[in-house]
Amino acid sequence: MENTRHRRTKRRSWFWRVVFFLVMLGALSVGTLSGYFYASSKAVRKTVGALWQYRGLDVAQAFPGQSSVTLLLLGSDENRDNKKRIYTKHTRSDTIMLAHFDFTHRRISVLSIPRDTRVRIPEHGVHKINAAMAIGGPELTAETLREWLGVPVDHYVVIYYNAFRRAVDLLGGVYVYVERPLHYDDNWGDLHVHLEPGWHLLDGQQALGYVRYRSDSDLARIERQQKFLTAIKERFRHPSTYLKLPQILDAVDENLKTSLSYGQMLALAWFAKSVPSSRIEMATLPCRPGRSYVYVDEEEARRLVDRLFFSPPASTATPPLPVSTIQ
């Protein structure tokens, strides 16, 4: 009897030793992995600093005294010299969007502006809107939009093609439904699009072709860009993307230009993650195509801008969710 109790005690002792060992091994693995990410990724180190600075990426801390932020998003075109080497100086904007983050009502409004829209650029006369960036950078583009639409642009972000391609590849591609055949070849610009209708898992180069394709119309192109943004948001919900975040953050951080601090960008990203899709509205500036320019319907555009950027929603305001509650 005594021997039996001794054997049971010994078995329980070994059981708890194994449990303890596994727990310690798990903790060590997590600690080692976290330490590796922290040491190997500049973006991760900056993220840790932002978490400390803004108390968990709270938008109220990142943008004190502001109930909303309007961000100008620009996708930069690429220039090539006579040897086809890429350079980004004096490039035009290939994509133009205004994103309004309403912290009080927890909603996001995104307005796409056709790149060929006819506008008056301050001190430079009449041009297509995408020329503003080539003339005076994102600052002049923001100033043009402020004077033209009356929207107070708080910050800007310029994303270059290389960051776009790299981020999509690191995500493992993005699923997109193609509604019609898309075929286009530009050997000089290294843009080749060959997509048939149906679901596709697009890699970085294919995704860039998908959002840049414009052989049908600039408005159809904008619609594809908005669909791709929605697909990206869904992709980021997948748990497998978390381990890739250090590489993605590094790739994006090294290939963009912005007036935001790194922590402010992360705070906006966390806020966007907490906003349900039903409270995100994407729209395109009402316009009609012409021979050389796209012309805006001024009355419709004014009503749309007022609704997206200045009118509160009918529903009751709710405060932003803290980061700890975001799923």
Residue 30 counted as domain residue: yes
In terms of domains, do 141 and 202 share one?
Answer: yes
**Model pLDDT for residues 55-67, shown as the tens digit of each residue:** 657 888 889 999 9
Task: Look at residue 182 and tell me whether its pLDDT is greater than 60.
Answer: yes
Q: Is the dihedral of CA 110, 308, 142, 101 positive or negative?
A: negative
Q: Is residue 278 part of a domain?
A: yes
Q: Are residues 7 and 101 both part of a single domain?
A: no
The pLDDT assigned to 23 comes to 41
* CATH code, domain with 72: 3.40.630.190
Q: Is the pLDDT of residue 261 over 60?
A: yes
Is 36 in the same domain as 159? no
Residues 145 and 226 in one domain: yes
Question: Does some domain include residue 59?
Answer: no
On whether residue 48 sits in a domain, the answer given is no
pLDDT tens-place string over residues 22-47 = 344 343 333 433 444 444 556 566 66
The pLDDT score that the predictor gives to residue 274 is: 84
Let me know if residue 238 belongs to a domain: yes
Query: Residue 318 pLDDT > 50, yes or no?
Result: no
CA atoms of 74 and 142, how far apart (whole Å): 10
Pair 156, 107 in one domain: yes
User: Does the residue 56 lie in any domain?
Assistant: no
Strand pairing partners for 102?
Answer: 68, 107
DSSP state of 315: S
| Count of domains observed in the chain | 2
Which residue has 């980004």 as its token pair? 88
Residue 55 forms part of a structural domain: no
Name the more confident of 175 and 234: 175
Domain that holds residue 290: 67-325
For 208-243, b where at least 16 C-beta lie within 10 A, e where not — what string? bbbbbbbeeebbebbbbbbbbbebeeebbeeeeeee
Q: What is the pTM (predicted TM-score) of this model?
A: 0.73
The tokens 């727990």 sit on which residue? Answer: 23
218/256 same-domain check: yes
Give the phi and the psi of residue 239 in degrees, each rounded to 5: -60, -30
Q: What is the pLDDT of residue 97?
A: 93
Which of these ranges, 75-79, 90-94, 291-295, has the smallest mean pLDDT?
75-79
* For residues 308-327, average pLDDT: 52
Q: State percent of the chain over pLDDT 70.
A: 71
Residues 76 and 34 in one domain: no
Instruction: Give 194-252 pLDDT, tens digit per residue.
Output: 999 999 999 999 998 898 887 777 788 888 988 988 888 788 777 777 667 667 777 77
Answer yes or no: is 49 within a domain. Answer: no
